[in-house]
Chains A and B, each alone.
Chain A
Amino acid sequence: MKYIPTIGIECHVQLSTKTKLFSEVDNDARGKEPNSCVSPVDYALPGMLPRLNGEAIRLAILAGRAMNCEINAQSRFDRKHYFYPDSPKGYQITQFYHPIIGAGFVELPSGTKIRIEHAHLEGDAGKLTHFDTYSLVDLNRVDTPLIEIVSMPDIHSAKDAHDYCKELWRLMCYAGVTYGDLYNGNMRFDINTSVAPEGSDKLGTRTEVKNLNSFRSVERAVEYEIERQTKVLEAGEEVVQETRGWNDATGKTTGQRSKEEAKDYRYMPEPDIPPINLSAEFIEAEAAKLPMMPADYRAKFSSVLPNDILEILLDYPELMQKTNEIDEKYVKTIANLFTSVLLAEEKSAEYLNDLPSAKDLNELAEMNTQKELSSTATKEVFLRLFDPQMKERGAKTIAKELGLIQENDLGALEAIVDTVLAKPETKKAQDDFRAGEEKVIGFLVGQVMKESRGKANPSAVQEILRKRLS
């Protein structure tokens, strides 16, 4: 019997607001001391009240629109209760009953559409580090704003699960709502997987794997679960509804918590935050600030750039956005430099944060097109544009200073060629060429290049040589 997998994904996205969701402390705790970004509100002192951050609402509108979602005119917050030291209030403030983002869809590069059920705003939890006999609590991450995006069970393969997560990541990055740093947990995925016999009108029993933080682990975990559940069903047994943990090293999931042990979160409307009412005008004004999305870039560049180059660029929003600033006639040259030169560099991640100006890149591409720079020289100048000691000088000056500008002046080239041909050591090669030995032309071009100290345009040199020796 053939089994059809069905997958739904919940994704948590940390929003890059300046301050936290309910207090005025710094939301960016990267590289900071534990418990140094914590206000009395986050720490849940008695009598402290949440103060909703308007920026989070604005980012939620952008995130929602990036997924073609409705933005709800009224939304509310609720309390989700549980006891654990990562939750100082003893409850998480979330949107259980009335989320801010309604239904929508995400279109994968393959054209498949995955529907979004809803997405809601909530505060993140703190972090615990466990030791033998004690645990340490760091509350820096408490109430970092999150949006949780809940998909419909529209995914039917590990590949689509991977592509959906990646596309979500791209959408959130392009919308500018998150730093998108997966390694540091800026986006985390929970996957719900079930399998059912082909033709069945009922979904199978699902399992949930929580807190995956790479596209690859999403793909592998889904693959593993499909295989595991299929084997269970083929053996005539039943899949247990449970939460399972993913082990990246073994490539396996293991059972953690079954449905019977599921917690009762005792949801309750949050009485400290009045309902959020958004006017249609406000929503539209904010949504209008949505920058170009991957689909817009695909539409704009698909006729200019090969598909593989375009998809690589889309993985690096900084590169895609910079490419968009480049003169249309130079887009291909610069896109190639980005994908084949920059990304091959060891320090590429660092470079991405400080890309050269469009003016410099246009200048560089122009010199290349005008044959003033050889392709090797173009790469060299390109990399110098990331050198903090040199970049300020601009592409043209750098090329000149390094003596990389090619000699294209025909008269000057002819003079150099004639000088070389007058040298006795080239006499034999000239004779050989005239006698029909084609390949010695390379030696002669090399001699001219040497005489010009590398500045001569080799193809122009060859042309002159051929004329002179004919």
Chain B
Amino acid sequence: MMKTANKTVTATRLVKDALAKVKHFEDYNIFTFINEEGALKKAAEIDAKIARGEKVGRLAGVPYALKDNFLSPEGETTASAHILEGFSSPVTATAVAKLEAEGAIMIGRTNMDAFAHGSSTENSYFGPTRNAFDKERVAGGSSGGSAVAVALDIVEFATGTDTGGSIRQPASFNGVYGLKPTYGTISRYGVVAMASSTDCIGFFTKTPDDMNLLMEITAGQDPKDMTTLPDYYKESTPKESSLRIGIIKDFDNESVDIEIRKALKKKCEELKAKGHEIVELEMPALKYALAAYYIIVPAEIASNLSRYDGIRYGFRAGDSQDLNALYKNTRSEGFMPENKRRIMIGNFVLSSGFYDAYFLKAAKARTLIVKEYADAFSKCDFILTPVSPNPAFKLGEKVGDPVAMYLEDMMSVSLNLAGVPGLAIPAGKTKDGLALGLQLVGPRRSDKALIEFSKELI
């Protein structure tokens, strides 16, 4: 369980320890901003409260790391993108406000692929973050900084966003828990949008219980986000003791790393030994998931990134002779190559004459995928799959091959299209000492039961 502050172990102590570790692991390039002054100030306030015997929150003095796409007034919120350089937010994200109200203390903002576009944190304006188990390898992404901050025990937990695997994949690359909740569980208000219909707010933790506590604190309907679900998290009931666990036949093939497949089989044996039933599932529609995802998501990205025009905030290119040049120069210099690639794909699939052939067709595939998950959950309680086809790859290995990079997401994106929750769980190490992870998938709103069940796999 997370250590909270008390009279003997003060918040100031916890914060100072965390800050010392931030310094110690500097070469991993985890943080884009270190909130030293702000964190110590808040710690002093909490310590004063404790000294006066006043009630403190459930996360009193707990140091945490904030992914750089969450808006809060501390430092600059840049989503690790050049185009947001200099932007300090006047507003606070709903999720951040809830954590802060419980006494959690933000130690720093974590590195990410710019605007969360990527699976390795190599697309950051601040350079890549390094893997917690092998500094020559990627942290995964897009929430790479957050995953490594928890894996190296710098903080008790970190926030993340997951649009197609951006929490689960870096969690599995770094051996920690990472939850993508049911779509609409945690408010997106104040989180830099990637793709509105698939973006989910979630966390990295070291234990399932920590994850449950964070969900209890942050889940719930928010009038500022019309897509949030009515509060369900606390009320959801745990599943019975003997469950049916589905495995997807199509994922057991040679394109998936042998050690990951072995880890999955080992977990299945353990579950059987504990009295659970293993069910083989046919889910043929999932083969369309990656293609549908890389149409719908870029379309929403192109749209959501339209506001970054250099007019009102953030970076503005100099030497522009007219308005069009200002737009062109600002966006050309301000976005990373991967941002531009997705903007171009997105605008292409939305163009007049192409909308029906691409966007609408992808939307239909999405409907099929939603249905296929619903069918699957009539045959089983949860599904256990790999998170990604490979463990952490080498820095630079896939930078020049966008399609190879997109294939990293093939097992994670269908959950985002279907809106169902997925929890990445640690599942041992490879013979080279890299972290292995698996993902537990549940029906919509089964998040609490999913977290509870993951204890069976420890």
Residues of A within 8 A of B (CB): 40, 43-52, 79, 81, 83, 85, 88-91, 137, 264-268, 271-274
Chain A residues in 8 Å Cβ range of B190: 47-48
Pair A271/B300 contact, Cβ less than 8 Å: yes
**When each residue 356-384 of chain B gets 1 if its CB lies under 8 Å from chain A and 0 otherwise, what string results?**
00010000000000000000000000000
Query: How far apart sit A186 and B79, CA to CA, in the bound complex (Å)?
Result: 39
Pair A46/B192 contact, Cβ less than 8 Å: yes
A235 to chain B, nearest CB (A): 33
Other than the known A46-B87, A81-B303, A85-B311, what 7 A-B pairs have Cβ atoms closer than 8 Å? A45-B89, A46-B89, A46-B308, A49-B226, A88-B311, A266-B303, A268-B300
Can you give 30 A-B contacts (C-beta < 8 A)?
A: A44-B307, A46-B69, A46-B307, A47-B70, A47-B71, A47-B93, A47-B189, A47-B190, A47-B191, A47-B192, A47-B193, A49-B188, A49-B227, A51-B226, A81-B303, A81-B306, A81-B350, A83-B306, A83-B309, A83-B327, A88-B307, A90-B307, A91-B306, A264-B351, A265-B352, A266-B350, A267-B355, A271-B196, A273-B226, A274-B226
Pair B309/A49 contact, Cβ less than 8 Å: no
Query: How far apart sit A50 and B77, CA to CA, in the bound complex (Å)?
Result: 20
**When each residue 303-327 of chain B gets 1 if its CB lies under 8 Å from chain A and 0 otherwise, what string results?**
1011111011100000000010001
B175 to chain A, nearest CB (A): 30
User: B324 — nearest CB in chain A belongs to which residue?
Assistant: A83
Q: Is B49 an interface residue (CB 8 A)?
A: no
Pair B226/A46 contact, Cβ less than 8 Å: no
Pair B227/A46 contact, Cβ less than 8 Å: no
Pair A90/B309 contact, Cβ less than 8 Å: yes
Q: Which of A46, A88, A89, A267 has the most CB of B within 10 A?
A: A46
Q: Is B90 an interface residue (CB 8 A)?
A: yes
Query: How far apart sit A44 and B314, CA to CA, in the bound complex (Å)?
Result: 12
**When each residue 170-200 of chain B gets 1 if its CB lies under 8 Å from chain A and 0 otherwise, what string results?**
0000000000000000001111110111000
Smallest CB-CB A-B distances: 6 pairs? A90-B306, A271-B196, A266-B350, A271-B197, A46-B192, A44-B307
User: A23 — nearest CB in chain B belongs to which residue?
Assistant: B224
Pair A45/B91 contact, Cβ less than 8 Å: yes
Query: How far apart sit A113 and B389, CA to CA, in the bound complex (Å)?
Result: 65
Pair B193/A46 contact, Cβ less than 8 Å: yes
Pair A43/B312 contact, Cβ less than 8 Å: yes
Pair A264/B352 contact, Cβ less than 8 Å: yes
B32 to chain A, nearest CB (A): 15
Chain B residues in 8 Å Cβ range of A274: 226-227
Query: How far apart sit A81 and B351, CA to CA, in the bound complex (Å)?
Result: 11
Contact (A49, B189) CB under 8 Å given A81-B303, A85-B323, A272-B227: yes
Query: How far apart sit A265 and B355, CA to CA, in the bound complex (Å)?
Result: 11
Chain B residues in 8 Å Cβ range of A50: 226
**When each residue 203-226 of chain B gets 1 if its CB lies under 8 Å from chain A and 0 otherwise, what string results?**
000000000000000000001111
Chain B residues in 8 Å Cβ range of A266: 302-303, 347, 350-352
User: B348 — nearest CB in chain A belongs to which residue?
Assistant: A266
Query: How far apart sit A137 and B310, CA to CA, in the bound complex (Å)?
Result: 13
Chain A residues in 8 Å Cβ range of B307: 44, 46, 88-90
Q: Is B410 an interface residue (CB 8 A)?
A: no
Contact (A91, B91) CB under 8 Å given A45-B313, A49-B224, A85-B311: no
Pair A44/B223 contact, Cβ less than 8 Å: no
Q: Which of B77-114 contact A (CB under 8 A)?
A: 77, 79, 84, 87, 89-91, 93
Pair A89/B306 contact, Cβ less than 8 Å: yes
Q: Is B299 an interface residue (CB 8 A)?
A: yes
Query: How far apart sit A406 and B299, CA to CA, in the bound complex (Å)?
Result: 80
Query: How far apart sit A301 and B79, CA to CA, in the bound complex (Å)?
Result: 65
Pair A79/B303 contact, Cβ less than 8 Å: yes
A45 to chain B, nearest CB (A): 7
Tell me which of B191, B196, B302 contacts A272 (CB under 8 A).
Answer: B196
Chain B residues in 8 Å Cβ range of A85: 309, 311, 323
Chain A residues in 8 Å Cβ range of B359: 268
